[in-house]
Structure 1
């Protein structure tokens, strides 16, 4: 058995039940849809087995599953009715959890960028500098900032899509 298969078996054993329960709530109790999402999530985990460990994969798995549900909802044109979830079933810090998951996804995706591309993204989007200001800080021409930004955002988009994040 190769490492990928072993990791997926461990992920399945540890996370399948909790992940299914989580997705089941997201899809309004549709067991078949929830199972499909869990299977697709685990398939994506298998594709990324070299970067996942069963003990630390939870946030990644939950994020991919959530994004699959959202993208599936959008593809169907919003045909699933939203099912209200009672407040006692929600974690008290749901917004904070989503924020942490999103931050984690972006941080992971930023790591795959080259340092030059990452620096441009940080200056323009995190430090909110103009192209001219970023050019001065980075010591490069404004045209280079624009070019690097274009390619950095393309690479960032690809990295996020690879992690299960889809565009709206």
Structure 2
């Protein structure tokens, strides 16, 4: 270990705690204070000629550097725009406005269908039931279910076009 390193270690041992307390009082942030003290001592290491001055002069230089760095930190864009919190931000959710409006539009168009056509279209597309299941459920032949589904979808398309929906 060289003489400069020993001198820097002595400066650290003598002034680091006082610098830390000083910067904590100025910034109110312990983590930032540790960063400022570390940067201050790093600058002292880069300027070994400062360490050769009198004890009072070294202390004054260190506190001046620490003050300037803490002011820089307080003015920095990171400090003014970013704020840490103890909890993560809310999850971003998709905007569902359009899908809600679309479902209202389709529900309104479904009301324009006859009850028999509406039952088949809703059962097949929203209920996920097959032609055979709908035939059994509604008590009509499978061919009738297919016919009602065909004409119901055609009527639904026309009702949506009347509401301004284009294919």
TM-score by length of 2: 0.43
Greater length-normalized contact order (CA 8 Å, ≥ 6 residues apart): 1
Over alpha carbons, which structure has the higher Rg? 2
